[in-house]
């Protein structure tokens, strides 16, 4: 116990250099644990976004791209699939349910998705959890909209609120569908997925917005069609962005996938969500490893800085060590004292780094959710994080043994002698 008190007093006596060392270690620990936390939670968030869907169908493109824009609302589709093709696929004898997805519009940066009312019955997330309404119900009218939890909370929308959708998926749009406002009919409970930041409307409602558009521009003058006139028109879409399929048996997955990939009328592809996710992780695996290695080297740099600070202070502390030896301290006590100082600096840096990591996550959580649709929960460190912290402390003790050994070898005469 007296060695611990002595080590603390010694560090307090050199508080400025000790604080700089602790801060360097803390920043490196923040980087290492932050990278690992975001990596593991991002994987969990991606994996929990969609559940119970056997196939994702869309125009022929990369499987990862199809997964990203249809499920995670990241990126843009390269093409659309025809409505009659979707109907033929939905009528397949092994398809239990089919959910159309149509993207292309937005509202204040939030994606607008056209779909059917069956979406709220069949879509699953997490561990087979269904979507639930916090308020209201699914869209029943042509101009009804169902909001994700974050959209309603951040924009202050309640049931009955009106919102004007905009053309395009950018955060800023110069073309709005102001003549056909939508009314909030329901608000979903929070899911921690991109659903929370999505505005859901019916396919017919989305089609009504563009019923008088020609060549990507709204009609003008007498050619414009009002919201009430659109109600009396045939609003069957000509194309959709993608579709989610649920099969009557998992055994039929590969057979249905093969039939869709060989679809005769247009080039389509069907991907398994789990397989597409694995392909995504394999693409990101190299970058993840490189980032982890860089983070480890940053931590080692912080520990080397601690080693340098302790070594550089040894010459100044030679008389201190000699006095300790002269009052009865054994060489092993000197050795233990230096080890305790190194361990104390590393422990303080690790604790401060964990605190900074959680503070950074708390501040960055809404930004990550808004820009990438990923919800990073703030949870206690897992076994892997504790292992990393233990490795950092062990490395600090090993590095601290270098100056401890040098102090151990110093002689009493060398410490008391006066050099000229």
Measured CA to CA, the distance from residue 3 to residue 336 in angstroms comes to 8
Least confident of 240-254, 334-348, 379-393: 334-348
Measured CA to CA, the distance from residue 13 to residue 6 in angstroms comes to 10
Least confident of 36-50, 79-93, 150-164, 210-224: 210-224
Mean pLDDT of 253-264: 93
Render pLDDT for 16-51 as a digit per residue (tens, 0 to 9). Answer: 777 888 888 899 999 888 888 888 877 777 777 888
Residue (of 361, 380, 377, 273) closest to 44 by Cα position: 377
Which range has the top average pLDDT, 5-9, 135-139, 321-325, 345-349?
Answer: 135-139
Neighbours of 153 (CB within 10 A): 13
Residue (of 116, 106, 123, 125) closest to 46 by Cα position: 125
Question: Residue 57's pLDDT band (boundaries 50, 70, 90)?
Answer: very high
State how far the alpha carbon of 223 is from the alpha carbons of 65, 164, 175, 182, 229, in Å.
37, 21, 17, 22, 12
Residue that is written with structure tokens 């009919």 in the block: 185
Position 412 scores a pLDDT of 46
Render pLDDT for 2-23 as a digit per residue (tens, 0 to 9). Answer: 566 666 666 666 777 778 888 8
Q: Tell me whether residue 232 is exposed, middle or buried, using C-beta atoms within 10 angstroms of its C-beta: 0 to 12, 13 to 18, 19 or more.
A: exposed
Which of the two residues, 330 and 275, has the higher pLDDT score? 275
Contacts of 320 (CB under 8 A, 6+ apart): 10
| pLDDT at 247 exceeding the cut of 60 | yes
| pLDDT at 242 exceeding the cut of 90 | yes
Least confident of 158-162, 265-269, 309-313: 309-313
Position 257 scores a pLDDT of 94
| pLDDT at 126 exceeding the cut of 50 | yes
Measured CA to CA, the distance from residue 228 to residue 136 in angstroms comes to 24
Measured CA to CA, the distance from residue 414 to residue 319 in angstroms comes to 9
Position 159 scores a pLDDT of 95
Q: What is the pTM of this model?
A: 0.74
Could you tell me the residue ranges of all domains in the chain? Answer: 2-46+284-416, 55-271
Q: What is the mean pLDDT of the chain?
A: 84
List the alpha helices (DSSP H) in 232-330. 253-261, 273-314, 318-326
Which range has the top average pLDDT, 162-171, 173-182, 184-193, 304-313?
Answer: 184-193
Measured CA to CA, the distance from residue 165 to residue 264 in angstroms comes to 36
List the alpha helices (DSSP H) in 373-382. none
Residue that is written with structure tokens 């008190």 in the block: 5
Position 418 scores a pLDDT of 46
Percentage of residues in the chain having pLDDT higher than 90: 36
Residue 201, strand partner residues: 114, 145
Which of the two residues, 374 and 39, has the higher pLDDT score? 39
Measured CA to CA, the distance from residue 295 to residue 171 in angstroms comes to 33
Neighbours of 40 (CB within 10 A): 15
Neighbours of 349 (CB within 10 A): 27
Measured CA to CA, the distance from residue 267 to residue 60 in angstroms comes to 6
Measured CA to CA, the distance from residue 161 to residue 320 in angstroms comes to 74
Question: Residue 415's pLDDT band (boundaries 50, 70, 90)?
Answer: very low
Percentage of residues in the chain having pLDDT higher than 70: 84
Measured CA to CA, the distance from residue 380 to residue 311 in angstroms comes to 36
Measured CA to CA, the distance from residue 25 to residue 9 in angstroms comes to 20
Contacts of 154 (CB under 8 A, 6+ apart): none
């Amino acid at each position: 116990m007296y060695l611990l008190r002595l080590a603390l007093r010694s560090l307090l006596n050199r508080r400025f250099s000790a604080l700089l060392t602790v801060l360097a270690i803390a920043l490196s620990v923040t980087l290492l644990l932050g990278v690992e936390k975001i990596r593991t939670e991002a994987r969990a968030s991606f994996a929990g976004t969609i559940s119970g869907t056997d196939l994702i169908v869309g125009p022929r493109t990369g499987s990862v791209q199809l997964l990203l824009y249809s499920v995670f609302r990241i990126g843009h589709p390269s093409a659309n699939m025809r409505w009659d093709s979707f109907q033929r696929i939905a009528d397949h004898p092994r398809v239990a349910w089919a959910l159309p997805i149509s993207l292309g519009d937005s509202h204040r940066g939030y994606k607008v998705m056209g779909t059917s009312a069956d979406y709220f019955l069949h879509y699953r997330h997490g561990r087979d959890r269904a979507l639930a309404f916090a308020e209201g119900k699914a869209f029943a009218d042509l101009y009804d909209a169902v909001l994700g939890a974050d959209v309603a909370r951040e924009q202050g929308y309640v049931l009955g609120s009106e919102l004007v959708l905009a053309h395009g998926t950018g955060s800023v749009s110069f073309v709005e569908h102001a003549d056909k406002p939508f009314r909030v009919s329901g608000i979903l409970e929070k899911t921690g997925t991109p659903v929370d930041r999505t505005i859901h409307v019916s396919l017919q409602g989305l089609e009504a917005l563009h019923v008088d558009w020609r060549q990507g521009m709204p009609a003008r003058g007498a050619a414009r069609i009002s919201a009430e006139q659109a109600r009396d028109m045939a609003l069957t879409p000509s194309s959709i962005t993608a579709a989610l399929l649920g099969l009557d048996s998992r055994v039929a997955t590969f057979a249905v996938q093969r039939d869709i990939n060989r679809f005769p009328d247009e080039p389509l592809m069907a991907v398994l969500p789990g397989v597409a996710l694995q392909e995504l992780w394999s693409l990101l695996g190299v970058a993840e490893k490189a980032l982890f290695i860089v983070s480890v080297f940053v931590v080692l740099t912080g520990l080397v800085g601690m080693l340098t600070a302790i070594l550089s202070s040894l010459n100044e502390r030679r008389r201190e060590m000699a006095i300790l030896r002269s009052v009865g301290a054994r060489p092993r006590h000197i050795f233990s004292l230096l080890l305790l100082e190194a361990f104390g600096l590393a422990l303080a840096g690790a604790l401060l780094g964990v605190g900074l990591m959680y503070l950074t996550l708390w501040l960055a959580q809404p930004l990550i959710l808004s820009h990438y649709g990923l919800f990073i929960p703030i949870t206690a460190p897992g076994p892997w994080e504790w292992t990393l912290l233990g490795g950092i402390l062990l490395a600090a003790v090993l590095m601290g043994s270098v100056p401890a050994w040098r102090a151990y070898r110093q002689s009493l005469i060398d410490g008391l002698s006066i050099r000229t």
